[in-house]
Structure 1
Amino acid sequence: MPWTSPLRLSRRSLLSGAAGVAGAALLTGCSDGDGSSDTAVGVPLERRMRETAVRDSERLLERYDATAIAHPALAARLAPLRAAVAAHTGALASADPAAGRTSGSAPPSSSASAAGAASSAPAGAPAVSGEPVPPKPEEALTALADAERSLSEARTIALAGAPGELARLLASVAACGAVHAYLLTSPQGAKP
């Protein structure tokens, strides 16, 4: 009779173990051999992760603003999505009083005022982040959807090393980003 191993690993347990190893590697960081860490000394992991998430959200806000300026006809469609990204920026920054940066969490009306200045920025003008806004509105929406999708995926990956409350917030924001990507490219997203 053939011998069967009593230990049988499921795919879920393997993935869980891999996520644990990745999280442990993230928490241990890299060192130069003298015992000091290459990461910022004394800065907690959660704070570094929040600061990165806020910067990423601010860049996304810049892309929304640049798209609204380059394509004023899209400003009304983008306004609620931009407002949600601004709210995410505020939520991610709210537990970090040291960050003190609220430039990206401007009220949604700033999108409309940015759209009012559209005459000074033609389609194809570079966004604040340095990437040009495509000249066709459909392409601009697709580029914005790609940015939302990419950030959503990055936040989903970051969940493995995030502390509890931040992990829940990142999961929620990542899910919202995935919905934004869908709404930006679907015909249903174009309806008021």
Structure 2
Amino acid sequence: MLAGAAAAAAGSALVSGCSGGGDPAGADSGIPLERRMRDGAVRDSERLLERYDATTAVHPDLSERLAPLREAVAAHVKALAFTAPKADPKPSRAASPSASPSPSAPASGRAEVPAKPAEALSALADAERSLSEARTIALAGAPGELARMLASVAACGAVHAYLLTSTPGAAS
């Protein structure tokens, strides 16, 4: 009986998702799906930018290597940002709940940067890979244009993960 109750509770948690409001996933929150997905994607990219900045602060010798990747992530923030149509009378709700959990940062919101540069690069690669995978999964529920953008940004994140774990200048 307890196992059945635990399974029912787990199933309920899966259905309610991470909305924090207890509404079932997909319930009308008054904010269009594309807007919620874009807002979540922007927040995820901003957290990834924070990880790049924290890594560069701890390991300044990596700044030249990380700069182009960080610039690409900053461009993702701009590309994913929701721009409301001029006729939209609704106020901006940038702090709305994300449509998906954010794998790119720990629960505290601050990234821990490993002391060794190689481990710091590996941690960044893991964050890029994790976010890329989450975005790939989100494609299934995204509207057309946003799905194409998420696919492109996910592919870029996968390339970043590869570049972060490869040895620059090494012969292949």
TM-score (norm 2): 0.69
SS across alignment from 1:187: coil
| 1:96 CA displacement | 4.6
Q: What is the CA distance between 1:132 and its match in structure 2? A: 1.3
RMSD of Structure 2 on Structure 1 (CA): 3.2
Q: Measure how far apart 1:38 and its partner are.
A: 7.5
Task: Name structure 2 gaps, 5 residues minimum.
Answer: 1-14, 86-91, 96-105
Residue 58 (1) aligns with residue 38 (2): no
| Aligned counterparts of 1:99 and 1:92: Cα–Cα separation in 2 | 15
Which one has a larger percent helix, Structure 1 or Structure 2?
Answer: 1
Q: Structure 2 CA distance, aligned partners of 1:152 and 1:64?
A: 16
Point out where structure 1 has 5 or more consecutive residues left out of the alignment. 1-24, 102-125
- The runs of at least 4 consecutive aligned structure 1 residues that moved more than 4 Å come to 36-40
1:76 deviates by 0.8
CA distance in 2, matches of 1:41, 1:134: 39
Higher-RCO chain (CA-CA 8 Å, sequence separation at least 6)? 2
Provide the TM-score with structure 1 as the length reference. Answer: 0.62
| Matching residue within 157, 160, 167 for 2:137 | 157
For residues 34-183 of structure 1, the aligned pairs below 5 Å read 39=27, 41-96=29-84, 98=92, 129-183=109-163
Question: In the comparison of the two structures, how many residue pairs are matched?
Answer: 136
Shift of 1:188: 3.2
- Percent identity reads 70
Change in 2 beyond 3 A, CA 1:185/1:166: same
- In 2 relative to 1, CA 153–96 (structure 1 residues): closer, same or farther, beyond 3 Å? farther
Cα deviation, residue 39, structure 1: 4.3
In the alignment, is the contact (CA less than 8 A) between 1:50 and 1:93 conserved in 2? yes
Q: What secondary structure, in the 3-state scheme, does the structure 1 residue paired with 2:113 have? A: coil
Distance in 1 of aligned mates of 2:74 and 2:33: 23
Matched AA of 1:63 = R
User: What one-letter code is carried by the residue in structure 2 that aligns with 1:51?
Assistant: D
- CA distance in structure 1 between the aligned counterparts of 2:135 and 2:25, rounded to whole angstroms: 24
Alpha-carbon distance in structure 2 between the residues aligned to 1:135 and 1:37: 40
Structure 1 residue 87 displacement after superposition: 0.2
Q: Paired residue for 2:12?
A: none
